[in-house]
Structures are given as structure tokens and as C-alpha cells.
Amino acid sequence: MATGDLVGTSGRRWGWRSLTGGGALLQEDSFRRLWLGRIFSHSALNAVLFVLLVLAVGEGSSSIKSALFISAYLLPTATLGTISGVLVDRLPKNLVLTAVNAGRVGLMFVLLMSSTSLWTVYGVALLVAVTSQFAGPAEAAVLPHVVRSDQLTTANSANSFGGLISQIVGFAVLAPFFLNTVGPQPLFFVAAVLFGIAAAFFLLIQHVGVDEIDIDSTVDAVRDVRSEFAHAWETLQRDTGAYMSVVIVVLASTASLVAVTLMPRFSHDVLDVPIRNAIYVFLPAAGGILAGLRLVHLLERRVPKGWLVGVGFCLLLASFLCLTLTKPFGGMIEGLTTLGPTPARMIAAIAFSTGAAFSYSVLGVASRSLVNERMPMEIQGRVFAAQVVLTNLASIPPILLAGLLSEAFGVAVVLGATTVVLGAVAAWTAAEARSRALARG
């Protein structure tokens, strides 16, 4: 059945269609396989990364240790970002995703057969980051090949809903369960199985845009990777709306990564919650993601996607600024109720993190849909790879600086300063892009 045949049907509908609007799309084979493959793959990846973070940081609350671990995970983009984008555009994307997850199966067996020493943890994290550098652009670029252009927002929203499921399964179910019971080793075996299932689903995806592999052309493209990547970047810059959408996602992701870096110390110093159980404090933020996924469909009919990205970013920054005031807001809640300091602060943190999740959900779906619509399909792998490269490279200095400064000045001051700086960078970049657009006439 083709995707287009679904528009007029009134038969089968998936029960969660009211949440994302994407239930009908799951009746199309290629999209359903992509969706299920992402859920299995991301569930395993989220669980493994959380466990590796806990192993790297230990039972303490050191922001420096978490900053070093996250920076090490982001580092491979400095050398592989441009190459991955070119390869994703030149190779069948289903084969790229299959190979990535097969490689992750191998990495899980490395963890199973070795000790979880600090060197092993960092080494595997680096190799997992390499696989993610290819998986992210491939997952984003394959979407226009398996759905129609008018279904991109629905498809991106459905993918984000799948991402939410994988976050809950990985972060809130698998990782805490194994860490608090039998330990991390059995988790690595479960993750290997999930990665294997994901590889099988990705292999079965059809209509991925590349029917034959031209080895000579691919090798030439890799050799000339700078010009190939520069061409995609120049094309992106000529579309001010798509360009600013990518930049804002980069800045929003940077803010989120800094917040994740500070999470262990925030949980310890502000909430008085052990790091391995901190995920349960932020789990209710899933409601914000669901609300964002549902509302983005209604909003896009009335508001241009570029505006959705911009407003979503502003709300995200506001939510992070409110998180820096968790103690004062917790004190207000404590004064109005019979709750103690910790429960009151947890309520405030839940409220603000839910707002941040809602905002990030809206701007993420709107941004991906905007790029899918406006950029030629043959360069989308490079465009999304560029977004990943910029996100990770731009994030490393703030992450390391935040980890260091939070030890001296506290989490609230560092998170607040980071939020203000990123907001100023967004405003300056928007002004520059507008100026270039006016100059081109």
C-alpha cells in the first residue's frame, strides 16, 4: 500500500493517532519499519548511554566528570561530520542504518567481554558516538523518501513520539532497573538484542532514493568532501528560513546538553536526589513532549513553521531560566503547602522541565519539517549532518566550561548565564541572516 492511498481511507486507525496524528502512516510498510527500528535502536542507545554516564561519573555529583564524558561522546563529529553527510547522501540509507546498528551489537559484546573500567567506558562511548554520527543524518534524510511532502510534519511528529517512547524505555525503565538490581552487564546483552532487531527493521525499508551503489562516485565524493559539504551549506544559507531553523536547533540542543551535563549536580545540590534516580524527577516532562507533538499539528496550520521554531526557542530559554530559580519557587510552594523542601523543589523542577520539553518538541518537529520541505532531497543528509556537527562542536566548550564553573559558582548561575548567552547568539545570528537576505535582494 502506498502512503498516498491512506488519505481517503476510513478503516484501520491506530489508537494513539489522537496524540500525534501519525497513526495512519504506520500502516505504510516503509515508514512503520523506520519507526519501529528507531524505537528499538534508540531505546537501547538511551539505556546504554545513561549507564555509561553513571559508570563514568560514579555515585558523586561531579559536573566536571559528566562534562568530560559528554564532551568525549560529542568529539567524533570534529573529524567525521562532513564524511558522514556525504556518505548518507550517496549510499542507500537503509543499509547505512543497518550497518550502524550491527556495529552497535558488536560494541555491546565488547562491553560484555571486558571490565567496565573508566577506559573501557570512554572508549565504547567514543565508538558509539561514531555510529550515531551516521545514524542521525540517515534517519532524518530517509523520511522524505517514505512519506509525501504534505505528511512530513505528521511523520516527524510520529518519529518524535517514538523517540519519547524510547526515552521512557531506555532512561526510565531499562537503565534504572538494571542499575538497581543485577547491574549493567545484563543490560548490555539486552541492548545487543534490541540493536539487532532494529538492524532487521531498517534493512527491510524500501524506497530509500538510492537503488545502486556507485563505488567510484562515492569514493570521489569522499575525496572531495569539503566541496560536497560546502555546496550543501551554501544551498542552506540561501534559504534564510531553513538556515535559521538549523541554527536555532543547534543552540537549543546546546542549551539542553548543558542542562544534561549539570543534571547530576542539580539533582544532588538542589533536589537532594541520587543521580541514578534523578530520571524519575524529570520523567513527567514526557507530558510536555506529548502536548508539543499534538499542538504542533494545529499550530502549523495557522503559524509559519519558521515562527514556530523561533517561539519554541524563546519558550525553551524561559523554561531554563525558571529552572535556575527552582529553590525560590520551591520555597514559595513550601510556604503555600505542607510539603517539605525537597518535594516542593521537585514540583517546581517538574513544571519547568515540562515546559522545556514542550518547547523543544515543538521547535524540533517544525525545524525538521521545514528542512525536509525546502532542501533538495539529494543534499539533506549533508544538511542534517551539518546540524549534528554544529551542535556537537558548539556544545563542547560550553559543556566543559559549565562543568568547571558549576563547581565554583553553582548550577543555577551557570545554567542562567548559558541561557542568556545562547539567546544573544540567536538574536545576533538572526540579524546577520536577515542582513544577508536583504543584500541578495
> How does pLDDT run across 165-198, given as a tens digit for each residue?
888 888 778 888 887 788 888 899 999 999 999 9
Integer Cα distance of 155 and 365 in angstroms: 9
CATH of the domain at 162: 1.20.1250.20
Residue 7's pLDDT is 37
What pLDDT shows up at residue 180? 79
Q: CA 365, CA 236: separation in Å to the nearest integer?
A: 18
Q: Does a structural domain hold residue 14?
A: no
Residue-level pLDDT at 99: 92
- Domain-embedded: residue 8: no
Position 10 in a domain: no
Q: What mean pLDDT value characterizes the chain?
A: 78
Does the residue 274 lie in any domain? yes
For CA atoms 147, 307, 355, 77, the dihedral sign is positive
Tell whether 308 is covered by a domain. Answer: yes
- Proportion of the chain above pLDDT 70, given as a percent: 82
- Specify the pLDDT at position 224: 57
| 191: containing domain | 20-440
Query: What are the cell numbers at 97?
Result: 542504518
Domain count, the chain: 1
Which amino acid, 162? G
pLDDT confidence bin for 150, thresholds 50/70/90: confident
pLDDT of amino acid 3: 41
Q: Please report, rounded to a whole number, the percentage of residues in the chain having pLDDT higher than 90.
A: 11
- Across 25-29, 102-106, 206-210, 422-426, least confident range: 206-210
Asked, for residue 6, whether it belongs to a domain, the answer is no
Tell me, yes or no, whether 242 lies in a domain. Answer: yes
Distance CA 6, CA 261 (A): 43
| 408: exposed, middle or buried (Cβ count in 10 Å: 0-12, 13-18, 19+) | exposed
- Does residue 187 fall inside a structural domain? yes
Residue 108: pLDDT band with limits 50, 70, 90? very high
